[in-house]
């Protein structure tokens, strides 16, 4: 598959991301201050950088697990069909859970995953998203904690990809096609 040529313009700096994660971690610690262990569930693959930085800021006992869901593939638009590609390794019944998402766009993936996790009877379930693109929402859902609200731009970096590229950028950038 040939990809259209593009450039990436910085939208959110690495410094701004780090500062926001510090703020969010304080709120999460307050929410879960009485937990015996917080199960932090990262939605793969886009959340892996965010989850790593977030858990290092949490002064709580944490367990990390991952769930992989897909509704995009290599496309720029959601297929609206959510598939679970990798499930959790451990049960979450009766446990405190923080779901970590990279970006909430249409809301289909987040809604599907939250309903799946709720069906497993966690003691408490909260969700954090690094990015929120509310203009694109098609499902009435919102993360409990949000890093940044962004405009309707296709973004990459900080774990978020475009056809498996650009995850390694330390910042969030918007894709601008040059053809």
Report helix, strand or coil for 42.
strand
What span, in angstroms and rounded, lies between the C-alpha atoms of 48 and 124? 22
Three-state secondary-structure class, residue 129? strand
* Active-site residue identified among 102, 105, 144, 179: 105
Whether the CB-CB separation of 28 and 58 falls below 8 Å is answered with yes
Let me know if 152 is a catalytic residue: no
Pick from 27, 18, 13, 36: which is nearest to 128 by CA? 27
Tell the residue number behind the tokens 């015996």, with chain if given.
36
| CA–CA dist 91, 77 (Å, integer) | 32
Give dist(CA 68, CA 74) in Å, integer.
Answer: 15
How far lies 53's CA from each of 11, 57, 58, in Å?
19, 7, 9
Cis status, amide bond into 26, omega within 30 of 0 = no
Please identify every residue annotated as catalytic: 105
């Amino acid at each position: 598959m040939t990809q259209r040529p593009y450039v990436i313009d910085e939208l959110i700096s690495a410094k701004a991301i780090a500062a926001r994660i510090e703020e969010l971690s304080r709120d999460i610690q307050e929410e879960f201050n009485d937990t015996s262990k917080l199960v932090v569930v990262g939605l793969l693959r886009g959340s892996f950088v965010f989850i790593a930085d977030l858990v290092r800021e949490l002064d709580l006992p944490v367990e990390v697990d991952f769930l992989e869901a897909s509704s995009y593939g290599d496309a720029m638009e959601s297929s609206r069909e959510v598939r679970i590609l990798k499930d959790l390794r451990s049960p979450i019944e009766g446990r405190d859970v923080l779901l970590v998402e990279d970006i909430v766009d249409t809301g289909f993936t987040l809604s599907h995953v939250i309903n799946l996790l709720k069906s497993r009877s966690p003691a408490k379930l909260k969700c954090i998203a690094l990015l929120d693109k509310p203009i694109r929402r098609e499902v009435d859902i919102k993360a409990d904690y949000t890093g940044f609200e962004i405009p309707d731009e296709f973004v990459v970096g900080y774990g978020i990809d475009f056809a498996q590229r650009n995850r390694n950028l330390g910042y969030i950038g918007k894709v601008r096609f040059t053809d």
